[in-house]
Structure 1
Amino acid sequence: MKFRLGVKGMIIAALYVALTVTPPLNAISYGPIQVRISDALLMLAAIEYFGLEAVLGVTIGCAIANIASMYGPPDIVVGSIANLIASLLIYVISRKFKGILARVLSAIAASLIIAVLIGYTILHIIAGIPGPLMLIASVLVGEIIAVVILGTMLSIVIERRLRLRM
């Protein structure tokens, strides 16, 4: 696997930051109840045109966006690792399996990874908010909206447009 951040990766990182920190989206991007719309960009890793650049873009974008997080450096590190693992999983699954079912299942798996890492590690362990299962469930709902629904639709539309152009 060749990891390199080119123009596509930098654009994805910039979009991720903008969709996370720009009002009014910043109000729903952090905390126990969140729908981080920018996480829809994780599904770009399923598109061959973006691939590993999308993985690096959403990882770097998350690190930059989480500078604005109230949870500080742990959120920068754990959030970025969550995005790295989740988007890499999407990338690997999309290379091995094709079709809408594989895309949706990869999005669900990515959402679960993020929900556990953010809900448990950041919100419960670091922030000390009680009820780890409820925190994981809360983050999972937001991730299903962002990654499974919006991200899957976004990736399908972009992939179709790219096919028409090539």
Structure 2
Amino acid sequence: MSEGYQSLSLGVHQLKLGVRSLIIAVLYVVLTITPPLNAISYGPIQVRVSDALLMLASIEYFGLEAVVGVTIGCAIANLASMYGPPDIIVGTIANLIAASAIYFMTKKYKGIVMRIASGIIASIIIAVLIGYIILHIVAGIPGPFILIASVLVGEIIAIVIVGTVVSTAVERRLRHRLQIG
């Protein structure tokens, strides 16, 4: 195989990975800022449905592209947050850490139990960072443990329940279509 062909093939592969990340980012933004979902995407009582997309990081086909996509998507979606730049920064970091945790936990150990466990860990990461830093420190809402618990409930609904169902269905569909694993 010629060096030029290999270079072109590598470029096309990188383009596909970038497009997957971009599609996930756009989906994340749309699911966060579009009414009526925007009403439950921010604040002390929230179920950010778009966070279900974090579980795409547990699927081999997406993996790191999902981590990049949900991170970029969160940064863009949080431009609409009432908590301003702190939410853009902390929320984006929270999604990066949470999606990375899902990716690394499920990369080596497959199966529904690890997918659920990684979703719980991701939910805790987001709940602590958003509940404590954004809602308690930045917004000045009292009761940090209640805020963390409130965000945790919403994240478990979005990531563990919705995300696990969606990612499992997507993975089955991909296996059937791509004839993998």
State the TM-score, normalizing by the size of structure 2.
0.89
State the distance in 2 between where 1:57 and 1:77 align.
16
1:27-46 to 2 correspondences below 5 Å: 27-46=39-58
Deviation at residue 97 of structure 1 after TM alignment: 0.7
Partner in structure 2 of residue 108 of structure 1: 120
State the distance in 2 between where 1:94 and 1:153 align.
15
Report SS of the residue matched to 2:159.
helix
RMSD across aligned C-alpha pairs, in angstroms?
1.2
CA deviation map 1:96-117 (0-9, x unaligned): 2111100000000000000000
Deviation at residue 75 of structure 1 after TM alignment: 0.1
State the distance in 2 between where 1:96 and 1:81 align.
23
Q: Which runs of 5+ in 1 are unaligned?
A: none
CA deviation map 1:120-151 (0-9, x unaligned): 00000110000000000000000000000000
State the distance in 2 between where 1:112 and 1:98 align.
21
- Which amino acid letter does the alignment assign opposite residue 36 of structure 1? R
Report whether the alignment pairs 1:78 with 2:94. Answer: no
State the distance in 1 between where 2:107 and 2:71 align.
19
State the distance in 2 between where 1:13 and 1:151 align.
15
Partner in structure 1 of residue 129 of structure 2: 117
State the distance in 1 between where 2:49 and 2:18 align.
23
Partner in structure 1 of residue 147 of structure 2: 135
State the distance in 1 between where 2:23 and 2:108 align.
26
State the distance in 2 between where 1:45 and 1:148 align.
13
State which structure, 1 or 2, has the greater radius of gyration over its C-alpha atoms: 2
State the distance in 2 between where 1:25 and 1:95 align.
31
Partner in structure 1 of residue 9 of structure 2: none
Partner in structure 1 of residue 59 of structure 2: 47
State the distance in 1 between where 2:66 and 2:98 align.
11
- Which amino acid letter does the alignment assign opposite residue 72 of structure 1? G
Report whether the alignment pairs 1:161 with 2:153. Answer: no
State the TM-score, normalizing by the size of structure 1.
0.97
Report SS of the residue matched to 1:6.
helix
Q: Percent identity?
A: 74
CA deviation map 1:19-71 (0-9, x unaligned): 00000000000000000000000000000100101001000000000000000
State the distance in 2 between where 1:89 and 1:56 align.
13
- Which amino acid letter does the alignment assign opposite residue 11 of structure 1? I
Runs of 4+ in 1 over 6 A off after TM superposition: none
Partner in structure 2 of residue 14 of structure 1: 26
State the distance in 2 between where 1:126 and 1:66 align.
14
State the distance in 2 between where 1:36 and 1:160 align.
24
Partner in structure 2 of residue 92 of structure 1: 104
